[in-house]
Amino acid sequence: MTDKVIDKEQALLDLLTENPSYTFLQLAERLGVSRKTEATRLKKMKELGSIERVGSDRKGYWK
């Protein structure tokens, strides 16, 4: 089960590397999950320090 979580997080990181300005909806569509699932995953990764939001929610990007 841990491998699946790691794979999903890696897929998310790959997309954010491709385009740090993707919205929750764009990320969810590309990964085939709901917007809420993606928002939860991003929040968890942010809390763990894996990613960081730079700028505002509207004009910012993920780093």
Q: Which domains does the chain have, with CATH numbers?
A: 2-62 (1.10.10.10)
Whether this prediction's pTM lies above 0.85 is answered by no
b/e sequence 11-46, b meaning 16+ C-beta within 10 Å: ebeebbeeeeebebeebbebeeeeeeebeebbeebe
37 Cβ partners below 8 Å, 6+ apart? 28
pLDDT (average), residues 48-62? 82
Cα distance between residue 21 and residue 3, in whole Å: 27
Nearest one of 33, 31, 28, 24 to 60, comparing CA atoms: 24
The pLDDT tens digits of the residues spanning 7-51 come to 888 999 999 999 998 888 999 999 999 999 998 998 998 898 888
